[in-house]
Amino acid sequence: MVRVGIVGGSGYVGGELLRILLNHDQVEVSVVTSRKNKGDYVFRTHPNLRGLTNMKFSDVDVESLASKCDLVFTALPHGSSAKMVSRILERGLRVIDLSADFRLKDPRLYEIWYDWKHPCPELLQKAVYGLPELHRDEIKGAVLVANPGCMATSAILALAPLIKEDMIEPLRIIVDSKIGSSAGGASPTIFTHHAERYGVIRPYEAGHHRHIAEIEQELAEIGKREVNVAMTPHAVNTVRGILSTCHTFVKDKDITVMELWRVYRSLYRGCPFVRIVRDSQGLQRLPDPKFLIGSNYCDLGFDVDGHSRRIVVFSAIDNLIKGAAGQAVQNLNLMLGLDETKGLNVPPLHPI
């Protein structure tokens, strides 16, 4: 039994990690930390876990983590994880970090996209970007895994086959993401206050969203060429889920839908959590996050627009699962040499 700790367990992602790991038969959750809730029962913050655990939140203490854990999930705000992760690694533990602090290889990009200087740049090259569909073998041997951003996950999985096969113009990619309110975290602001958030279709960070950096990094790596992505997210009137609509433009020949089936099946063959959805009948004809809530699946679909020589790709995920906690557990399984689906073979909820 592998002992794991969760640093920052009071947020939505920490709660989903607990929900999944409490039913994982190879893992024991030995520590859950929260500075603001220390000493209080976990189920008072995550009421869905009442009756499943009587654990209490503890304060963050690296020595306690080192004595009680073999691997630690860090679910802290961006900019707060880096120094904590460095101290945990020094104690010989393995880490899966769910912040953005280790996703980018070039430390200069943190100054451009996050407006701060990285305190541990020497760890960036050691960190493995935790997208199993692209980095499965590297994750297996990793000491530090950087869990991808939620919108980055949806966009990279949508675009990687086209970039890998050199089918589209790499400097002309547009990503339009719609995302639910849980992506804003558990701490309320004026933007997440119910009276201001309900009913919106609100664009934000329209020309400079920080997930662009990791999308470009990963696509450039798989395509071996420079990539430029224009991305605009929109807050929409749901709690969970992301739908990314990716607009791409073919390079020098017409592409058929059958060719798209081939390239997507080729890259994602053997990937248990990627499903291709393009149906002419039934309720779900193209990806829709409504049919993914609570699951670790990413649904991908596509169409060809011959009029504008465009390939449009749709990518749907639950932002808290494949976009965060579920993907982190998928990475955990790979790091432990387990079947990557362990603890994650849960069908989505429907209706919801």
d(CA 323, CA 340): 16
Reply yes or no: is the peptide bond before residue 233 cis, omega within 30 of 0: no
Two structure tokens written together for 190: 């004026």
**Which H or E run includes 144?**
strand 144-146
Q: Is 120 a catalytic residue?
A: no
Q: Are 188 and 242 in contact (CB under 8 A)?
A: no
Give me the count of residues in the chain.
352
Count of CA atoms in the C-beta half-sphere (13 A) of 296: 24
Q: Are 16 and 324 in contact (CB under 8 A)?
A: yes
- In this structure, the number of other CB atoms found within 10 A of the CB of residue 276 comes to 15
Smallest CA-to-CA distance from 348 within 302, 296, 295, 310 is with: 295
Two structure tokens written together for 196: 């201001």
Burial of 51 (0-12, 13-18, 19+ CB in 10 A): exposed
What residues are paired with 96 via a beta bridge?
Answer: 73, 145
Q: Which among 69, 120, 150, 246 is annotated as catalytic? A: 150
The catalytic residue positions are: 150
